[in-house]
Amino acid sequence: MRIAVVALGKIGLPIAVQFADSGHEVIGVDVNPRTVEAVNAAREPFPGEAQLQEKLTELVPAGRLRATTDYAEAIPGADAVVLVVPLFVNDETWEPDFGWMDAATTSLSQHLTAGTLVSYETTLPVGTTRGRWKPMLEQGSGLVEGTDFHVVFSPERVLTGRVFADLRKYPKLIGGLSDEGAQRAREFYEAVLQFDERPDLPRANGVWDLGTAEAAEMAKLAETTYRDVNIGLANQFALFAADNGIDVYQVIEACNSQPYSHIHRPGIAVGGHCIPVYPRLYLSTDHDAEIVRTARQLNASMPERLIARAADLLGDLSGMTAVVLGAAYRGGVKETAFSGVFPTVDALKARGANVVVHDPLYDDDELRALGFEPYALGGPVDLAVLQTDHADYRTLAPADLPGIKLLVDGRNATDAATWAGTPRIVVGRA
């Protein structure tokens, strides 16, 4: 098949590589010329994705994968077009911002030819594929969906850093706007993906047709919103436990020993492209989902709550030097999307602290580009807030932070024995 993949980001590029590695001719479209240049030079444009560089080195010189900024070069005559364009959410209104996806869909429609399958993999509010993309594609192309071309929704379900493994591990969900479109999608994904055996699943791992685009849209929102609500519940338990002399981690371990309990871990922040965002996409169409709204608000409040607790213990933070340990949103991943570092820094600055940031994955210039003053371990500090559970921080000791008066461990990552004698707050512990 000839396949076009629109948007070669941290999900889109590995997906394009997967298709090419399955024996198909793939052309990627991206608005960033530097990304296109890197791909065509068989050079990964971002670090950290397992096997990506090795596969680029093999596939690009073989002519199986190339990239362009020109839709007119990629879309006409494609058997399938897969879109993995970012969808943003307004921080104030919590409403989806379709700007980038509208632009991509419009450009795609202007070059769409008959016989093409169009699959949206970007997570969407329920009803978007049918109510927004279908009419836009028909208007721009002059073609009729369901007759001249087919549209399906098939959410990506992978985690950056392990995309290729996740593509094999999890069922590929599809939902078409017609029976024929769904059948085309099944045949397409069965030709470009390979699946691990999963005896734990209720049916064979592979392509799972959920019957409608709306069901597939909801499935992706539901599985990610579940995680945010679960973390919100864990954080609620953690706040109560800390106020009542209880170790919430012992409680969670005990609960999860019973097969019907799957309580997640509490923490200072929920970051990344998915978990903080998709509950808001769900709320954009289910305005009555108060449990979702409450969990999202509680999780977003955790940095402020922990900094307030630190201020209660230390008194006025004005003039104190506070280091936030970790800019990344999760350990081992060089990504700051919706990272807790931003609200944590804001909460400290609001109390007059002089704030610096450390992260083993970022150099000083990169931290400054993010708007932070960099810090090197060994420099004097008054307060440290562990925001990211990097492996490096598990062996952190008071000697690494000379003069420290209080450690706020927002990830339960440090060793209690190592910190004996130094005041320490751990989320979920008294």
Structural tokens at position 102:
């509208």
Structural tokens at position 14:
């590995």
Compute CA distances 33 → 38, 60, 86, 240, whole Å.
9, 17, 17, 51
Whether the Cβ atoms of residue 414 and residue 393 lie closer than 8 Å to each other? yes
Region of residue 245 (left: phi > 0; alpha: psi -120 to 50; beta: else): left
Structural tokens at position 304:
């402020």
Among 121, 117, 129, CA closest to 172? 121
Q: Please, which residues bridge with residue 296 across strands?
A: none
Whether the Cβ atoms of residue 397 and residue 420 lie closer than 8 Å to each other? no
Residues 136, 121: Cα–Cα separation, whole Å: 17
Residue 145 DSSP one-character state: B
Compute CA distances 150 → 21, 122, 242, 244, whole Å.
24, 17, 54, 57
Does residue 220 have an active-site annotation?
Answer: yes
Does residue 274 have an active-site annotation?
Answer: yes
> Which residue among 220, 255, 334, 349 is the active-site one?
220
> Which residue among 274, 334, 349, 405 is the active-site one?
274
Would you call 7 helix, strand, or coil by DSSP?
coil
Whether the Cβ atoms of residue 407 and residue 424 lie closer than 8 Å to each other? yes
Strand 172-176 relative to strand 80-83, pairing: unpaired
Structural tokens at position 247:
């170790």
Catalytic residues: 220, 274
